[in-house]
Copies of this chain bind each other. A is one copy, B any other.
Amino acid sequence: MNDPTHQSPPRPRATHSRIAILAPGLLGASLARAARARGLANSIALWARRPEIRLRLEDEPWCDEVFASAADAVEGASLVVVCAPVDCIVPLVREITPSLSPRALVTDVGSVKSEICRLAHDVVSPKADFVGAHPMAGSEKSGMEHAREDLFENRPCFVTPLDNTPEEATGKVAAFWTALGCMVSTVDPERHDEIVANISHLPHVLASLLCSRLLSLDPGWRNFAGGGLRDTTRIAGGDPRLWREILRQNHEEILRAVRGFQDELEAFQTALANHDYFQVANFLERGKEYRDRLRP
């Protein structure tokens, strides 16, 4: 029974001798804290663009080395996690590629995947492998001051290989996110973008538009707001610059999702205008059926 040839195939290693995390905001800093707490790296290297952030990083127990250059930060790392906003990911990958170790793995946390995965793959291949990821662990808050060691625990995480991504690379990246506490699902980037257009980007658009509509009606009414409006619109507090770029990169799928919702809203409006309360109740009941089965 001790004959190694009879063991089940080894699970991909989630631990790395050296991890480089680029742009430690809410996600990147939480990732560093979680990786340290779970012992996933012997050494954690960070790169931050702003000098004042680098200064703060030097005092953090979850940061072993700080670099002023992203290319320097990735040297010797077996895993690089790019935590920059979606429009900065590919430029950063381009910047670090000459310094990547052979067969290094590069992953990211971007909310849109098709464009990033295709371009980043072209940049790093054949030297290294890019396997995109998207942990559903964001917040309307940003910045490393909100970082939490448990941010990824029990959160869904997409891992989005291309057709030609080596299985071993996909397995290692999936193992890393799993080791951080995520529930990993592997889907292709286009499918990812369709799903999140509906379950994440459309809700964001609706929250923003509800708020922009209320702003033009009577901003003072906000003083009467109950918990319902507060929860429904929380994500509208997100950074407009980040979201503008998400809407640009996932343009086609979000447009499709918005149009699908417009049809739903038009059907509801017609039912309400016709005093068809059987139909009105049907929308409410279907909504509750979906909501009641959402994970807590």
Q: How many residues of A contact B (CB 8 A)?
A: 87
| CB-based contact A210/B258 at 8 Å | no
Contact A204–B224 (Cβ < 8 Å): no
0 or 1 for each of A14-32: is its CB under 8 Å from B? (1 = yes) = 0000000000000000000
Q: How far is the CA of A237 from the CA of B296 in the complex (A)?
A: 12
Q: How far is the CA of A121 from the CA of B277 in the complex (A)?
A: 27
In the complex, whether A88 has a CB less than 8 A from a CB of chain B is no
Of the candidates B137, B209, B216, B280, the one whose C-beta lies within 8 Å of that of A226 is B137
* A contacts, CB < 8 Å to B: 136-139, 155-156, 158, 185, 195-196, 198-200, 202-219, 221-238, 240-241, 243-244, 247-248, 251, 254-255, 258-262, 264-266, 268-269, 272-273, 275, 277, 280-281, 283-295
The answer to whether A237 touches B288 (Cβ under 8 A) is yes
Interface of A is mostly: helix
Q: How many copies does the complex hold?
A: 2
Q: Among the listed B224, B231, B238, which residue makes an inter-chain contact with A136, where contact means beta carbons less than 8 Å apart? A: B224
Residues from chain B with Cβ under 8 Å of A226 in the complex: 136-138, 155-156, 199-200
Residue of B with least CB distance to A271: B247
Chain B residues with CB under 8 Å of A280's CB are: 244, 247-248
Which B residues are in CB contact (< 8 Å) with A235? 228, 231-232
Given contacts A284-B244, A288-B237, contact A156 B210 (CB under 8 A): no
